[in-house]
Amino acid sequence: RGDSASADRQVDSVCPYCGVGCQLTYHVKDDRILFVEGRNGPSNAGRLCVKGRFGFDYPNHHARLTRPLIRRAGVAKGMDPDFDPANPLTHFHEASWDEALDVAAKGLIALRDTHGPDALAGFGSAKCSNEEAWLFQKLVRTGFGSNHVDHCTRLCHASSVAALIECIGSGAVTASFMQALEADLVVLIGCNPEANHPVAATYFKQAAKRGTKIISLNPRGQTLGGYAHRTVRFTLGADVALLNAMLNVIVAERLYDADYIAAHTEGFEALKAHVAPITPETMSAVCGIAPDEIRDIARLYANAERAMIFWGMGVSQHTHGTDNVRCLISLALACGHVGKPGTGLHPLRGQNNVQGASDAGLIPMMLPDYQRVGDAQLRAAFEELWNTPLADKPGLTVVEIMDAILAGTICGMYIMGENPAMSDPDLDHARAALATLEHLVVQDIFVTETAQFADVILPASAWSEKDGTVTNTNRQVQMGRAAVPLPGEAKADWWITQEIARRFGLDWRYTHPREVFAEMGQGMGSLANISWDRLEREGSVTYPCPADDAPGLDVVFGDRFPTASGRARFSLAALLPPDEPVDDDYPTILTTGRQLEHWHTGSMTRRARVLDALEPSAVAMLAPGELQRLGLREGEMLTITTRRGHISLATRIDTALPDGMVFVPFCYSEAAANVLTNPALDPFGKIPEFKYAACRLSVPPPLAP
């Protein structure tokens, strides 16, 4: 770390990691970032977590891609254990940009022309800017000719978005997390903000200090560092049982807000009938909580004057993830806890631009701003904007695309900044699919696990090297600025996508992301009154924004919901078991997630020196009793086996976990948790069940001398 005096310039930008969207300043000397400081942004007020503060040096890692690469003839696709990402020339040869772009585009065009538009698919990235997301989905829709475009939202909050759009007409949060400071009560369910949204967690703790009651509902027993007023460790997968039982109490004891329900909702009578038999007594054994505890939580939530619900992937990453969120929405609507300060529904979004990438249309069933591709009138507006006919059939989602590759219907892909060879469930299946592709173009900053399957690798830009906007979990559109130049021959992602588009015959002539943002404004009503110049001046503007000189709305839907009737809708959720319940052969629950120090598939944070030093190797976390049952001491190796594969990694004690469960972070390629996970999908959000798989724990045999 240096100090401000030793830097020759400061550049204001946004953290590249989580959806909190902390504003920061890069302190730069001789075109290298010396250190990072938090800035007074609306979602961080100067604060940063360890990732934002110390995870800035990964772009300088010695394995950084600086020249385009083309696979050498005869080298098989796949993850060769002898391959070194820092020395890719064993498997690839360097190429000029013209050569690499020509090979990349020609391969895709040939497959489209031979097999039709449905033979191609693209994954964009929530790690790229809004403008890059916009261009990527536009290329797939207008160049490839299909809607087979998706990104990591499919793996995190697709079920939340599905339920929110269905029930309240909008997939974004109804209030920022700063509104927790105005709430009397905050429910945190299926989330671990201390690890995954650390600066948001500081607001929750601040609220608790001011008297807000925090109720933490979590199968892993997270307590928000002791700030929770009540911690309820319920049975993993029993969200619908718990939440419907709470609704039963609210209905039976008439704790609901009848005036709000009459004025703003529809379907309450059906909900009343639905939850009538789902009493705390009947659900107690299912969710592992005493009936009186369910009653207490329901009463606390309903009787609070202002209450908010925050949730994470513990809610969404289930085959019944959409049902889980439907229940949360019903709770908020029944109690009138939406649309006022200190109330609301807030799915804590994962990546720094997963909200923006979704808004910009990196979704197979929706055009930008969640306009359904099958609606001719909505589609016509984009056909006019882009001056080309668009496909009306919804595209396939992330996991469905992998299945379609193995079924032989998709044979070419363009992947920008995503790493499905680490992030998809049932990795052997996903990797087999990637190896099957006839032509794969990967655009990234490292030779990721996915890039090891590529025919062409295009060296792209890290966050601190690009100008562009991002949208955080609070709907705040924020300005990111390049702090350092691109290394070697690496290029900005928007430039690369444009070059591919031109080779598809598209007449794209963007010279700067600001021109892309201006086009987005023409197609996205959500960006009304938010211009590039305004973002340059103000740094952050929340959407929706009523005027170009007014602040955006922190809390929405006080008067009406953006549905056809203007009312929100109660949606019923039936109790479903996990797709793969534990049994005698696989008696332990495997659940996966993130760690504070590492980010998703680890491609960035494992190359950041401080973060890698803090958490250098793969761990499996277990309750002390579980470790004792296995006859292991902390740090000794454990093998975890599911119906899809096995991994071995070191053990670590987590006293919050219940017996019968093991938690594994999914960022370690040497023990990739997703080898184990279940690809079964939620039927609505098409999100895999990352949070629950049946597994078997065993002690690996000692290594041969």
Contact range with ligand SF4 by CB under 6 A, out of 60-68, 196-204, 357-365, 675-683: 196-204
Q: How far apart are CA 188 and CA 214, in angstroms?
A: 7
Q: What is the bridge-based pairing of β-strands 120-123 and 149-150?
A: parallel
Residue nearest to ligand SF4 (CB): 52
Q: How far apart are CA 371 and CA 379, in angstroms?
A: 8
3-state SS, residue 480: strand
Question: For ligand SF4, which is the closer residue by CB, 48 or 413?
Answer: 48
Contact range with ligand SF4 by CB under 6 A, out of 43-51, 100-108, 336-344, 630-638: 43-51
Q: Which helix (H) or strand (E) is 267 found in, with range?
A: none
**Residue 306 binding ligand SF4, by CB under 6 A:** no
When binding is defined by CB under 6 A, the residue of 21, 145, 314, 417 that contacts ligand SF4 is 21
Contact range with ligand SF4 by CB under 6 A, out of 12-20, 25-33, 315-323, 439-447: 12-20
Determine the distance from the C-alpha atom of residue 253 to the mean position of all C-alpha atoms in its chain, rounded to a whole number: 37
Do the Cβ atoms of 439 and 453 come closer than 8 Å? no
Q: How far apart are CA 544 and CA 133, in angstroms?
A: 20
Identify the sign of the CA torsion 387, 495, 351, 13: negative
**Residue 267 binding ligand SF4, by CB under 6 A:** no
Please state the closest distance from residue 366 (CB atom) to ligand SF4, in A: 26
Please state the closest distance from residue 14 (CB atom) to ligand SF4, in A: 8
Do the Cβ atoms of 434 and 454 come closer than 8 Å? no
Angle in degrees, 0-180, between the axes of helices 291-303 and 280-287, rounded to the nearest 10: 110
Strand ranges (E), 623-672 = 637-642, 645-653, 661-665
**Residue 195 binding ligand SF4, by CB under 6 A:** no
3-state SS, residue 106: helix
**Residue 18 binding ligand SF4, by CB under 6 A:** yes
> Is the link from the previous residue into 544 a cis peptide, with omega within 30 of 0?
yes
Contact range with ligand SF4 by CB under 6 A, out of 41-49, 147-155, 534-542, 583-591: 41-49
Q: Which helix (H) or strand (E) is 195 found in, with range?
A: helix 193-196
Question: For ligand SF4, which is the closer residue by CB, 24 or 100?
Answer: 24
Touching ligand SF4, residues 581-620 (CB under 6 A): none
When binding is defined by CB under 6 A, the residue of 105, 120, 172, 199 that contacts ligand SF4 is 199
When binding is defined by CB under 6 A, the residue of 34, 39, 42, 51 that contacts ligand SF4 is 51
Number of residues that bind ligand SF4 (CB under 6 A): 14
When binding is defined by CB under 6 A, the residue of 41, 52, 395, 417 that contacts ligand SF4 is 52
Question: For ligand SF4, which is the closer residue by CB, 43 or 651?
Answer: 43
Q: Where are the alpha helices (DSSP H) in 211-290?
A: 239-252, 258-264, 268-275, 280-287
For the beta carbon of residue 601, count every other beta carbon within 10 angstroms.
Answer: 24
Contact range with ligand SF4 by CB under 6 A, out of 5-13, 17-25, 427-435, 489-497: 17-25
Residues 6+ apart with CB under 8 A from 578: 236, 237, 318, 319, 689, 692
Question: For ligand SF4, which is the closer residue by CB, 194 or 493?
Answer: 194
Please state the closest distance from residue 355 (CB atom) to ligand SF4, in A: 13
Q: Report in angstroms the alpha-carbon separations of 271 from 255, 311, 330, 336, 497.
A: 14, 22, 8, 15, 47
Please state the closest distance from residue 672 (CB atom) to ligand SF4, in A: 22
**Residue 224 binding ligand SF4, by CB under 6 A:** no
Question: For ligand SF4, which is the closer residue by CB, 44 or 330?
Answer: 44
Contact range with ligand SF4 by CB under 6 A, out of 44-52, 332-340, 429-437, 547-555: 44-52
Q: Which helix (H) or strand (E) is 231 found in, with range?
A: strand 230-232
When binding is defined by CB under 6 A, the residue of 48, 242, 278, 396 that contacts ligand SF4 is 48
Please state the closest distance from residue 195 (CB atom) to ligand SF4, in A: 10
**Residue 204 binding ligand SF4, by CB under 6 A:** no
When binding is defined by CB under 6 A, the residue of 28, 49, 611, 675 that contacts ligand SF4 is 49
- Using only the alpha carbons of the chain, give its radius of gyration: 24
Contact range with ligand SF4 by CB under 6 A, out of 45-53, 93-101, 140-148, 460-468: 45-53
When binding is defined by CB under 6 A, the residue of 7, 20, 33, 427 that contacts ligand SF4 is 20
Identify the sign of the CA torsion 553, 558, 560, 561: positive
User: Which residues form the interface with ligand SF4 (CB under 6 A)?
Assistant: 15, 17-18, 20-22, 44, 48-49, 51-52, 197-199
